[in-house]
Amino acid sequence: MEFIIQRDSLINTIATVSKAVSSRTTIPVLTGIKLVASTEGIILTGSDSDISIEEFIPVEKEGEVIIDLIEPGSIVLPSRYFGEIIRKLPGDQVKIKTNDHLTITITAGKSEFNLNGMDAADYPRLPQIEENRVLSLPSDLLKTMIRQTAFAVATTETRPILTGIMWKLMDSELTFVATDSHRLTMREAVVESPDHLTFENVVIPGKSLVELSKILLDDSRLVDIVITDNQILVKIDHILFYSRVLDGTFPDTSRIIPKNGKTLMNLNTKEFLGAIERASLLAREGKNNVVNLVTRDDNSVEVYSVTPEVGKVIEEVNPVSLEGEPLRIAFNAKYMIDALRAVDSEIIEISFTGAMSPFIIRPSDYNKILHLILPVRTNQ
C-alpha cells in the first residue's frame, strides 16, 4: 500500500471513525483504525463492536485531487498514535507506505515515522445489512430527537433494554421513547416514509445514538437509515454508521401515562428552570436531590428544599395559569431540569394526578414531546 493524501481530509476522517474506537476493548485489533486503499479512494474504519464507523475518502472531491494512489493495500494502525501523528505533522500532504511485515512509514516534510501495524485480515467484518427497510430523515430532525430523549436512558445495566432508545414507526409517525424507570421521555415526529414501512421495538443503545448525533449535521439534508433486526445503519454522505440493536422487549409505556390531570399548571420554562436549579443547589448531596412543590392559596407555586446541615431554599413561582386541586409533591430535581432543558418552548404545561402519581410535562404549543416523572415519597 502506498499513497499520498491531503492531510486535512485524513485528519477529519480519523476524527470521525475514532468516535467508534474504545481504548478499553479487549480485542487488540479494535484499538486500531483499518485503512484500505483502492483505486477509488481510501476507506477508514473504527469499531468497538457495538458501533462501527466507516468513512470513504474519494480520490477526487469536487474536481480537487485528494489522494494520489501509488499502490493499493490495507493495514490496521494503532488509532491513538496514528491520529496524533497525522495531526502534528508539518505541511499539507502526507505519504503513507507499508513496508514488509506490517509496518508503515509515514512521511511529511522532514518528518518520518515508522509505525507498527496489524493485519487488516484480522479486523472483524462489518455486519452485512439487507436494505429492505429504509427510512430517510432530515439530519437536524434526527439530531434533535436524539438530544431530546437520550438523557433519559438508564445508565446502569440492571435492565439492559432500558439503556436504549426505543424507535417505532407507525402510520408515518416516528416515535422515540427512553426511560430509566424513574422518568420517561417520548418524542414523536411525522415523517415521510414508504407506506408499507412500519416497525416497533427497535431499541438502539443510547450511547450509540449520542455518538451518531456528534456526526450529524445541523441541516435538513436527508440521511438514510436502514433497519434490520439486530443492526441499524445510518448513511451520511461518505460515512456509514452501524450500531447494534438491543435484544429484548422494551416495556409498554403507553399504559403508565395518566390521562386525566387533577392539577394543571402552565409555567414560563426559563423561570421555572431557574427556580428548580436554585432549589436543587443545596439538595444535590443529600436525599437524592429532592425538591418539593406546593400550590399556595394565592395561586402561586412554591418550590423548596431543606438540607439541615447546609440550609434551605424557598422559590416562589407565578404560573401563567393554575387550575384544579391543591397539590404538595416532591420529585428529583435532576429529572425536572433534564426535561425542561430538552424543551425549546417558552411555556410548559405540567399535569399532576396527585402526590403519588407520575406527572406529565409538555411544551404548551407542541404536542410531540412528553416527559413523565415519578414523584418521590417524602415526609416534609
Give me the residues that bind its own copies (CB under 8 A), please. 78, 81, 84-85, 88-90, 103, 110-116, 274-275, 277-278, 281-282, 309-318
Nearest CB to its own copies, comparing residues 114 and 380: 114
Nearest CB to its own copies, comparing residues 82 and 352: 82
CB of 280 to its own copies, least distance (A): 10
Nearest CB to its own copies, comparing residues 95 and 238: 95
| Alpha carbon distance 328, 336 (integer Å) | 16
Nearest CB to its own copies, comparing residues 50 and 338: 338
Q: Are 42 and 56 in contact (CB under 8 A)?
A: yes
Place of cell 462489518: 126
CB of 333 to its own copies, least distance (A): 13
**Cβ partners under 8 Å of residue 71, min gap 6:** 1, 2, 3, 37
Angle at 77 between CA 72 and CA 78, to 5 degrees: 175
CB of 306 to its own copies, least distance (A): 9
Closest CA to 188 of 378, 376, 367: 367
CB of 102 to its own copies, least distance (A): 11
Sign of torsion, CA 134 139 145 150? positive
CB of 270 to its own copies, least distance (A): 10
Nearest CB to its own copies, comparing residues 49 and 114: 114
Nearest CB to its own copies, comparing residues 236 and 290: 290
- Give me 343's grid cell: 424543551
CB of 199 to its own copies, least distance (A): 44
CB of 114 to its own copies, least distance (A): 5
DSSP letter string over 197-266? --EEEEEEEHHHHHHHHHHS-SS--EEEEEE-SSEEEEEETTEEEEEE---S-----GGGS-S--SEEEE
- Give me 184's grid cell: 420517561
Overall residue count recorded for the chain in this entry: 380
Other CB atoms within 10 A of residue 141 CB:
17
Nearest CB to its own copies, comparing residues 53 and 322: 322
CB of 54 to its own copies, least distance (A): 25
Backbone conformation region of residue 96, classed left if phi is above 0, alpha if psi is from -120 to 50, else beta: beta
| Phi and psi at residue 23, to the nearest 5° | -75, -10
| Alpha carbon distance 234, 243 (integer Å) | 9
Nearest CB to its own copies, comparing residues 17 and 275: 275
